[in-house]
Every structure is written in C-alpha cells, then in structure tokens.
Amino acid sequence: MAHYSGHRAPPEVPAHFKNLFTDGKLGDDDDIVDSNNNANNNNNNNNDQENRPDNANSDCQTVCWIFGYGSLCWYPGFTYTKCITGYIRGYVRRFWQGNVTHRGTEDAPGRVATLVEDKEGITWGCAYRITGSTALEYLKQRECTLGGYATLDAKFFPRVASHDTPFSGEALEVLVYVATPENSHWLGDAPLEIIAHQIANSRGPSGHNAEYLLRLALFMHEEIPGVRDEHLFELERLLLEEIYRKEIPLSSVMGRNPDRIRRDSHEDVRRPPSFEFTSRIPDTKLRCLNI
C-alpha cells in the first residue's frame, strides 16, 4: 500500500546539497557547451533545447542533480549542463497534488504529479545537472512556494551507462521535489475516472491541465519505450476519451510545442525498432479484389 512518511517542507534546500558532487559529474568537462558553441548550435537546429551553462556561474560553484518526473521532464525552465534519463526506487508517480497557480485555479484546481512512497515502486524520469544557485532558486519558487512541494534526496539510476564516466550505471544522489498531504494544495487519491474528468476540465495560467499529463505520457512513450506506468497511461486513456467525448480539439489543449531536450548525450544510443504503439491501431478487415 502506497503511503507517505510525512516529509515536511524544509525552509531551504537541504544543507548537504550545498556540497553535493563538487568534483563528481557525468561525462567530461568538454560536454559543457560554451556560449559561442550554443550560438552555432542554435543556428543549426532552432528546435533543440541545448545544454546551456550559466555564464554567471564560476567553476568553483557547486554541482548537483535534480530529478524530474512531471513537467520537468518536458519543460525544465532553467539552465542545465546535462540531462539523462533513468529512475528512482521506492516511489510511484500519482496525480494526487492539486495546482492553482499553473494548471488550475482556486475555483477549479488542476491535478499534477507527485511521488508516493512504495517500497516496490520505481519512477522513471530524467535528471538535470545544474551548477550554482540560480536554478535552485527558480525551482524553489516554482515547486515549493507556488506548487506546495517539499524537497528530499534519493538515489537515481541512469538508464544508459557509459564506460568512460565516473558512474558507469551506479546510482547518484539527486534532489527531488515531492508534495505531501501536509500542503494546502493536496487533493489525494480518487477514482481514475474522477481524476481524468478533473484534468479535462481544468486550465491555469500555464495552460490546460490536459497538456501536463499528455506531454508527460508522451515523454514516457518516446524516451523510455517498453516501460509501463499503469497510473499514468490509464489516466492518459481516460483523459483522451473525455476530450473526444466533449469534442474538444486536441490542439486547443496542447499549447505551443516545447523545445526538444537533448538527453543521454553521454552515449550514442541506438534504440531497436519498437512496436509498442501498434496495439493502438484498430483492427481492419481487408477485402480481396479480383484484378
């Protein structure tokens, strides 16, 4: 049975993260893209979201990793130097957190993802390598002040291990933002049909609540094919049914396409062909023609 242990929001990022990974990093220093290379890369591909270093940060500043499992998977909103896909253990993803500042309003709160403790659970997402305090301050405002999330640390397991990196598939410590029942936006568990209905009928300053869920599901389908997230994928199915039943154009809820994020750049990943989505194609009877 998934449950919370009652993490309470600390006043700031845990103290031990101030000295986290000062000399540890995934890949070589050459992976950090300077501002001149960024300009050239942007000219070559305007749709890519490059790994941009913060020019205001110096080499002596702390490096840490942030784990994203919700909107951070497709819209980080901050400067980072690397993004890798992987998972953490001991938690499952649930749409139990309310939201009134981004994907809903006070009158019609939206629902966004949080993590619920489950000793057998695994949650897939991506980790961002950041330097300095700028991104942490941004996330503190976005996730804690406005979103009602608290911080905790967890072990992150990269999906792709590179033989020439310090980690080679071993776990690294990441900072995670988690909503708990103690925060004022908490909505908790409900039948999936009710959750899907609420998401289909919520919109906030950042866009429609449906976009949040559908882009997260798209991240899972495209970046980690073959991995099943039953809670997320069942909500995706129910939500699409609700949208189609109400004859709501999908384009009206999806908003502008976000920039593409370059993930797992530390290894050339060659993915085998996947037939995951063929099950969604309806069966069609073929008629033979005498020609």
Q: Which residue type sits at 156?
A: F
Query: Parallel, antiparallel, or unpaired: how do β-strands 203-204 and 172-179 relate?
Result: unpaired
List phi, psi (to 5°) of 274: -120, 135
d(C-alpha 104, C-alpha 199), whole Å? 9
- The rounded distance, in Å, linking the Cα atoms of 224 and 87 is 10
Tell me the β-bridge partners of 64.
130
Interior/surface letters 1-36, b for 16+ CB within 10 angstroms, e for the rest: ebebeebebeeebeeebeebbeeebbbeeeebbeee
Q: What's the rounded Cα separation, in Å, for the pair 64 and 25?
A: 9
Catalytic residue positions, numbered: 143
Q: Report how far residue 260's alpha carbon sits from residue 279's, in angstroms, rounded to the nearest whole number.
A: 27
Are residues 132 and 62 in contact, defined by beta-carbon separation less than 8 angstroms?
A: yes
Strand residue runs (E) in 170-259: 172-179, 203-204, 207-208
SS3 assignment, position 154: strand
At 261, give phi and psi (nearest 5°).
-100, 130
* Residue 185, number of CB atoms within 10 A of its CB: 20
As a whole number of angstroms, the distance between CA 95 and CA 110 comes to 10
Reference 127, options 25, 33, 34; nearest CA is 25
